[in-house]
Amino acid sequence: MKPDFEKMSWAELRAYVLAHRDDLDALEALFNRRSPDSEATWYNFFYTEEGQRQMEEVFRRKINGEV
């Protein structure tokens, strides 16, 4: 029996997806919670070494839930 993804917080659902990577229903539930493109934050980094470092730092913070 699968958990009720609708009742899970975003952090709980994310943790579940990371622990159950083959569960496509959980992945779809997490994907459906994403922000619409109109609310998304867009980053425009230059294609330089410094831009690459900045982009990696933003991704690291996002993955760790710091942003």
DSSP symbols for the chain: ----GGGS-HHHHHHHHHH-TT-HHHHHHHHHTSPPGGGPPP----SSHHHHHHHHHHHHHHHTT--
Distance CA 32, CA 54 (A): 28
Residue that has been written with the tokens 């997490």 in this structure: 30
pLDDT surpassing 80 at residue 67? no
The full set of domain ranges for the chain reads 1-34, 39-67
Q: How many residues does the chain have?
A: 67
For the question of whether the overall pTM of this predicted structure is more than 0.75, the answer is no
Q: What is the pLDDT of residues 2-56, one digit of tens each?
A: 899 999 999 999 999 999 999 999 999 999 988 777 777 777 778 899 988 988 9
